[in-house]
Amino acid sequence: MSALNRNTRRRLNKLQQTSSVWEGDRRPLSVIGNNHQPDGEGHNDCILWVDGSEGIVRAMDLVSPTMGPEAIVRALMQAMEQI
């Protein structure tokens, strides 16, 4: 995995620290019950961040499968900045 850029590191250092435990995942979504779309259309990845301590979803984002791991970091940082 590549190193985080300077701006991302600065944003991370500004975040409030909590004792919560968050879990994240990225999974492909397929179009359920819709066979009318050609292959490759309508397929996205879902990024999900869940706060296990509070029992709530902190972030959910749909992204193109071609987006790299920076999409996971971006979703996490946006969720953490909303605390």
Rounded CA separation 25/17 (Å): 21
Helix (H, G, I), strand (E, B) or coil at 29: strand
pLDDT digits (tens, 9 = 90+) for 25-59: 999 987 544 555 555 566 899 999 999 999 999 99
- Return the domain boundaries, the chain: 19-30+42-83
- Is 65's pLDDT higher than 90? yes
Alpha helix segments (H runs only) across the chain: 6-14, 70-81
